[in-house]
Amino acid sequence: MPDNAVVRTTPGGTFAAGAFAVSDFNDLPGGMIAYQLRTAIQTSITTQVALGALTLTITPAAYRILRISFNVLIQLTVASPPDTFQIQILKDGGPAYMAAWNYPFNYGSRDLTITNFVLDINPTAASHTYALYGGRVQSNGAYQLSPTATNPATLLIEDLGPAFSS
């Protein structure tokens, strides 16, 4: 499976004339906007670094809710006492992250498949870049991003629908 990124710019499909008004579609979820798959292994991860070059740039419609999700296989490659790995999703290069999660690795714990997501509520209708970062929080372990052809590292952006005002 090649490393790639796909960005959908328009919805597909056709609809019967008169069945819906064009404005009706603004109230529906837009589905997948973009995704990226990576199969290259990344070794010696200690400090916060971009994970597998999992970065997507999109221009969403205004007043939408986006879900940014990821799936990665992280391996602790150096025997160490209990350790913690942190994953962050950065928007537009940071410096602050949108979300961060800490994943503990206990004694003898070597592999961890991690799947999680964050919502971007009402992003502007401008270009935005979302990137996945990860690194060691404590201790002296070294980590590895270990995707495979059957379990690639992924970054996915979906349109969940309109961000209704209260």
Mean of the per-residue pLDDT values of the chain: 83
User: What are the structural domains, with CATH classification, of the chain?
Assistant: 33-162 (2.60.120.1340)
pLDDT of residue 13: 44
**Tokens describing residue 62:** 């205004």
Contacts 24+ apart (CB under 8 A), 78-82: 78/140, 78/141, 78/142, 80/139, 80/140, 80/141, 81/107, 81/139, 81/140, 82/106, 82/107, 82/139
Of 40 and 110, more confident: 40
**pTM listed for this prediction:** 0.81
Query: How many whole angstroms separate alpha carbon 88 and alpha carbon 48?
Result: 9
Phi, psi of 65 (to 5 degrees): -105, 125
pLDDT of residue 21: 61
pLDDT of 15 higher than 60: no
* Per-residue pLDDT tens digits for 114-142: 999 999 987 888 999 999 999 988 777 78
* Per-residue pLDDT tens digits for 80-126: 667 889 999 999 987 667 888 998 887 666 888 999 999 998 788 89
